[in-house]
Amino acid sequence: MMKIYGIFLTLMSGIFFLMGGIISHTFKNKNKLEHFSIGLAFIVMVGLIFLDILPEALELMANYKIIEKISFLLIFIILGFMVLKILDLFIPAHEHKHKDNEKNKEEHKGHIVHIETLTTISLIFHNVLEGFMIVGLANNNFKVGLLLSLSIALHNIPLGMHIFSSIEFKDNKLLVSELTLSSLIGGLIFLLEGTINNLILSLVMAFTIGMLLYIAGLELLPEIITNKNKRETFVGMGLGLILLIVSLSL
């Protein structure tokens, strides 16, 4: 029965992406929402990397020497970074200008959609692992699994707001479905496999870190710097910090 509850928790955490998307579509001023969601997503993503994924990856490699940990993780972080860079070259609409003429407005909108597409691809990898961990923990201790899923849900709302601030549900049904159900897929993998080698898990986490670092450092940060005088950007970053504090306290 606990396995069934764990599967429910993975589905719940994925649905919170949709909640973030629904919230984003209630805003009429898409320009302000864009600045807000980028600031919010940047803080949440950085927190996700350094306060969640990286410590977990290091913990999974507790039996390895420090030099082995650093070497393994660094290799796969670089690999994840480079894979997303290669994907970046094949995903269209990457111009990034902020002038007021209509052509550059359209190019900027395309750039935002580009960022959100890369973010979605990276998070699908990450969510599969999270679903695996949720079911694994809930199977042993439902309370721990519940707290983990709630913490993940708090991350997913702002990330969903960011992703869906420019991406339309109806035009990206497959991508939306994959993102929403990716945690569930991870949970189902746990039910089928029962366990996965800790080293493999930690290396996949490192690969995900590399992808998220690429988005945070080369995609979101330039947007924040460009819009550093926008109040909405700092409001988003402030709310991101609050959400991180709350999720860490669970």
Binning the chain into helix, strand and coil, the percentages to the nearest 5 are: 85, 0, 15
- Name which of 21-30, 80-89, 119-128, 165-174 the model is least confident about: 165-174
Rounded CA-CA distance 224/234 in Å is 9
Instruction: Give first-to-last CA distance, the chain, whole Å.
Output: 24
Rounded CA-CA distance 158/104 in Å is 27
What is the Cβ-side half-sphere exposure of residue 32, based on CA atoms within 13 angstroms? 7
Whether the Cβ atoms of residue 178 and residue 18 lie closer than 8 Å to each other: no
Place of tokens 């991870």: 186
From residue 221, give the alpha-carbon distance in Å to each of 12, 40, 76, 154. Answer: 30, 11, 22, 22
Average pLDDT over residues 124-138: 77
Give the relative orientation of helices 198-214 and 66-90 as an angle to the nearest 10 degrees.
Answer: 50
pLDDT digits (tens, 9 = 90+) for 169-224: 666 677 778 778 888 988 888 788 766 788 887 888 888 888 889 878 887 898 88
pLDDT digits (tens, 9 = 90+) for 136-156: 767 766 776 776 677 677 767
pLDDT digits (tens, 9 = 90+) for 25-80: 787 776 787 788 788 888 988 888 898 889 888 998 999 999 999 999 999 999 98
According to the model, what pLDDT value does residue 64 have?
Answer: 93
Rounded CA-CA distance 122/60 in Å is 21
According to the model, what pLDDT value does residue 70 have?
Answer: 94
